């Protein structure tokens, strides 16, 4: 039964973390409108519009990339029955790999990619794991 709970924790954590990411991005587009004429529905459109982006346009993507792993890891750790610290580290690595893929495929300034990869995925997953109780002694 522990294995099933651990697998469910990881799957549900990934799904919820991804939904949090999407939700924050969507909220960001409502609160910080894209530059006039920017079409980010395709990679080509994003690549063409990225030069018009200001620093404010990168705030919500960073918050999404930090919030998804944070919430997803908390959920995974709370659902898991055992091996919580290993699951938390696995969640951090999973979201970091997604972040690396996003940073390779999505055009963005170097400063954003650096801040994103250094401060979003691993640190927020580990904070989420700590808040979820993954690092408590048995």
* pLDDT over 70 at 25, yes or no: yes
CA dist 59 and 81 (Å) reads 35
> What's the pLDDT tens digit per position in 55-68?
999 999 999 999 99
Inside any domain, residue 138: no
Question: What confidence tens digit (pLDDT) does each residue in 3-16 have?
Answer: 999 999 999 999 99
pTM: 0.91
CA–CA gap between residue 53 and residue 34 (Å, rounded): 8
Write out the residue range of the structural domain in which residue 37 sits.
Answer: 2-132
CA distances from 100 to 2, 121, 122, 133 (A): 31, 10, 12, 27
Residues 103-135: pLDDT tens digits?
999 889 999 999 999 999 999 999 999 999 998
Q: Is residue 51 part of a domain?
A: yes
In a domain, residue 137? The reply is no
H or E element, residue 85: helix 84-105
> What residues have CB less than 8 Å from 118, skipping those under 6 apart?
none
Tell whether 79 is covered by a domain: yes
DSSP 35: P
Q: Is residue 78 part of a domain?
A: yes
Q: How many domains does the chain contain in total?
A: 1
């Amino acid at each position: 039964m522990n294995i099933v709970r651990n697998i469910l924790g990881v799957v549900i954590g990934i799904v919820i973390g991804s939904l949090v990411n999407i939700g924050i991005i969507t909220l960001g587009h409502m609160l910080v409108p894209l530059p006039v004429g920017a079409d980010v529905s395709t990679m080509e459109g994003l690549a063409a519009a990225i030069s018009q982006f200001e620093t404010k346009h990168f705030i919500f993507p960073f918050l999404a990339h930090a919030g998804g792993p944070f919430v997803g890891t908390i959920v995974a750790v709370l659902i898991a029955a055992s091996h919580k610290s290993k699951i938390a580290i696995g969640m951090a690595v999973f979201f970091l790999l997604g972040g690396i893929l996003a940073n390779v495929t999505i055009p963005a300034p170097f400063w954003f990619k650096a801040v994103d990869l250094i401060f979003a995925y691993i640190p927020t997953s580990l904070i989420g794991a700590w808040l979820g109780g993954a690092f408590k002694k048995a």
